[in-house]
Chain A
Amino acid sequence: METLLQQTVNGLVVGSVYALVALGYTMVYGILGLINFAHGDVLMIGALVALEAIRLIQLYAPDLGLIPTLLGGLGVSVIVCMALGYTIERTAYRRLRNAPRLAPLITAIGVSFLLQTLAMIIWGRNYHTFPQLVSTTPLEPVAGVFITPVQIAILVVSATLMVALLLLVNKTRLGRAMRATAENHKVASLMGVDTNKIIAATFIIGSALAAVAGVMFSSNYGIAHYAMGFMPGLKAFTAAVLGGIGNLGGAMLGGLLLGLVESIGAGYIEDMSFGFLNSSYQDIFAFVILGIVLIFRPTGLLGERVADRA
């Protein structure tokens, strides 16, 4: 029972990171019908830039507290990733907006590998230790469950960001324009929406979320690496599909569910398969869920309007 509770907490933490990344996928897919393959790598760039910024801050302003240092690093990485997201959209995707759908997808794969290669050139192939600015030592166990301050921070930050995003999309002028563009580009632009600007804004917002997710991911596991974006990216995409791609609430739900399934599954896979499989098969859950959802309910749990795109 304690294992179950513990894995539930871990699952929620991982799941909220997935949810943040999934929001980026789902927003772009909702508006462009494009799987932004490079989104996971924006997360990676976010983590590595934050690492670099934190190192610099610690070098030049060692007296700054732990939290301000982390926030400084986070701020720098969010800004860099926003610029990166805009650049990617502007240079690689915009020209292909009306091309058949395989073309932008292939470009997106290219961008993803380009980002990984550039990161490899800048930061090398080694795993970097990410400074543990928020403590990762568990607090006093509550009902036998250990939770660390960094995990609490992740839950709080991602919940806040999700609420903020929902408010942005549902209550503001920009959000309304985004929804209109997602509904129909042409009509939206006839109504005076500058769709190019809206699409760029979508990429920028998604990249900012990915940067935050990257910093949280690295803070939690204490490492950063040039290829770290691939798996979370793929899982976040799975989460977006699970929840119903194009649907913001769905992405959040999908992320949390996937996190739960994965960590509870990893806790029990050994018993379930009579010791044949073990937790090194954890990554398979995402793919299996993705396959099942796409085959039996391609619209996802909460999706409704993208049936014809599957």
Chain B
Amino acid sequence: MNQLALAIPWLGKRNPAAARWVVIALALAAPLIAVLFGKTWVRILDFAMLYVMLAIGLNLVVGFAGLLDLGYIAFYAVGAYTFAFLASPHFDIHLPFWLVLPAGAGFAALAGIILGLPTLRLRGDYLAIVTLGFGEIVRIFLNNLNHPINITNGPQGINMVDPLVLFGWDISQGLQIGESFKINSLFLYYYVFLAFVVLSIILVQRLQISRIGRAWAAIRDDELAAKAIGINTRNMKLLAFSLGATFGGVSGGLFAAFQGFVSPESFSLMESIAVLTMIVFGGMGNLAGVIVGALALTALPEILRYVAVPVQQALFDRVILDPEVLRMLLLSLAMIFMMLLRPSGLIPAYSRYSRPELVVGKESSGEAAK
């Protein structure tokens, strides 16, 4: 819980209890505040929650275990497509989500192990390139597996994915209270996603201070030394890959249900990079940091969208930088300047178990000096 307080740096240090309550209140009230600016903002908030889950999962791999994974979005894709296969008219299978979501998570974990096994010996930049290749291979297959047998329906993607149904209650229909009052499904999705996020946070936090988390930190800081003190680096790395992938898979399944539609386009390299930027921006290895990073980098482009476009229209009578370009610009600049100016992120990891300067910091280690 202390990490929750860290999300508000000024208050967090002086009065952690107050900061904690502020964070909880904000999390609960967020959609109610967002709706004041329009319903799209609640939708953006829902997506932000999915990105938070992705960031938490990727942080497990990159921040805790120090394995730079540039193909992370492939696990998101595995989760989303599993959901779409098992709960849509595409194969005419409609399994309930409490079966489909774990299946997606399981397949994603399996994909994590498949990626992890051959790359165990690779470190740093080589690992990054191979994982990038893995992500691209998954995308190429999704794009082309529509013939000779139609499995993924190719670039068109799969439509009409079933929404989340909790105990026979379809939450995409909203909640009717009395005659006149109806809670929009966007709100309901937000709270469902929030529940998943909270669960992930608790899980990851416990994991970080457990034996496994300490083993990961040891591997990240010095793999050889970790091996020497008896850590089974192979199993620990595989565990990091598969657990990280699980979060991606769950998030992907939720995405498919929420969006009602999946296509290879949503799983491009740009998305992997976006999630990586979120954790770099927020503070690699620090849970509060990556959550803030994910929220900030989901919301900022959207804010820019609603500010920059009208401003440009007023100034130049046309839109020079469309929102998608702005998003890419923002992400790439965030990545470059964060590394140059504040390499440990907005909220650096202070915990006993994370030494960010060894992952990305100014101090040089022996290896990097070469």
Q: Give chain A's interface residues, CB within 8 Å of chain B.
A: 33-35, 92, 95-96, 98-107, 109-114, 116-117, 120-121, 230, 234, 237, 241, 275-276, 278, 280-281, 283-284, 286-288, 290-291, 294-295, 298, 309-310
The 6 residue pairs across chains A and B that have the minimum distance between CB atoms: A110-B335, A287-B133, A113-B332, A110-B336, A114-B332, A98-B364
Contact B133 A291 (CB under 8 A): yes
Query: A100-B358, A110-B335 in contact; A310/B126 too (CB < 8 A)?
Result: yes
Q: Which residue of B lies closest to A295 (CB)?
A: B118
Contact B136 A111 (CB under 8 A): no
**A35 touches which one: B125, B269, B361 (CB < 8 A)?**
B125
Query: A100-B365, A102-B124, A310-B121 in contact; A291/B130 too (CB < 8 A)?
Result: yes
Contact B276 A106 (CB under 8 A): yes
CA distance A309 to B126 in the complex (A): 9
CA distance A180 to B143 in the complex (A): 47
Q: Which B110-145 residues have a C-beta within 8 angstroms of A?
A: 118-119, 121-126, 128-130, 132-134, 136-137, 140, 143-144
Query: A105-B124, A310-B123 in contact; A116/B328 too (CB < 8 A)?
Result: yes
Contact A281 B140 (CB under 8 A): yes
**A275 touches which one: B148, B270, B358 (CB < 8 A)?**
B148
Write out the residue numbers on chain B whose beta carbons fall within 8 Å of the beta carbon of A120.
325, 328
**Does B44 count as interface, using CB distance less than 8 angstroms?**
no
Q: Which residue of B lies closest to A276 (CB)?
A: B148
Contact B361 A99 (CB under 8 A): yes
CA distance A241 to B362 in the complex (A): 28
**A101 touches which one: B144, B340, B363, B368 (CB < 8 A)?**
B368
Write out the residue numbers on chain A whose beta carbons fall within 8 Å of the beta carbon of B320.
121
CA distance A276 to B369 in the complex (A): 48
**Does B225 count as interface, using CB distance less than 8 angstroms?**
no
CA distance A116 to B329 in the complex (A): 9
Write out the residue numbers on chain A whose beta carbons fall within 8 Å of the beta carbon of B276.
106, 109
CA distance A45 to B297 in the complex (A): 27
**Does B360 count as interface, using CB distance less than 8 angstroms?**
yes
Write out the residue numbers on chain B whose beta carbons fall within 8 Å of the beta carbon of A283.
136, 140
Write out the residue numbers on chain A whose beta carbons fall within 8 Å of the beta carbon of B132.
234
Q: How many whole Å from B131's CB to the nearest CB in chain A?
A: 10
Interface of A is mostly: helix
CA distance A226 to B308 in the complex (A): 23
CA distance A95 to B364 in the complex (A): 12
Contact A310 B332 (CB under 8 A): no
Q: Which B337-370 residues have a C-beta within 8 angstroms of A?
A: 339-340, 343, 357-365, 367-370
Write out the residue numbers on chain A whose beta carbons fall within 8 Å of the beta carbon of B201.
none
Q: How many whole Å from B72's CB to the nearest CB in chain A?
A: 13
CA distance A237 to B126 in the complex (A): 10
**Does B294 count as interface, using CB distance less than 8 angstroms?**
no
**Does B50 count as interface, using CB distance less than 8 angstroms?**
no
Q: How many whole Å from B69's CB to the nearest CB in chain A?
A: 12
Q: How many whole Å from B246's CB to the nearest CB in chain A?
A: 23
CA distance A109 to B333 in the complex (A): 10
Write out the residue numbers on chain B whose beta carbons fall within 8 Å of the beta carbon of A105.
68, 124-125, 128
CA distance A294 to B336 in the complex (A): 28
Contact B368 A98 (CB under 8 A): yes
B66, B335, B361: which has the most chain A beta carbons within 10 Å? B335
Write out the residue numbers on chain A whose beta carbons fall within 8 Å of the beta carbon of B143.
280
Write out the residue numbers on chain B whose beta carbons fall within 8 Å of the beta carbon of A286.
133
Write out the residue numbers on chain A whose beta carbons fall within 8 Å of the beta carbon of B361.
99-100, 103
Contact B122 A103 (CB under 8 A): no
Q: How many whole Å from B116's CB to the nearest CB in chain A?
A: 12
Write out the residue numbers on chain B whose beta carbons fall within 8 Å of the beta carbon of A109.
70, 273, 276, 335
Interface digits, B293-331 against A, CB 8 Å rule (1 contact, 0 not)? 000000000000000000000000000110001001101
Q: How many whole Å from A294's CB to the nearest CB in chain B?
A: 6
Write out the residue numbers on chain A whose beta carbons fall within 8 Å of the beta carbon of B118.
291, 295
CA distance A310 to B122 in the complex (A): 6
B340, B361, B367: which has the most chain A beta carbons within 10 Å? B340
Contact B333 A101 (CB under 8 A): no
Q: How many whole Å from A196's CB to the nearest CB in chain B?
A: 16
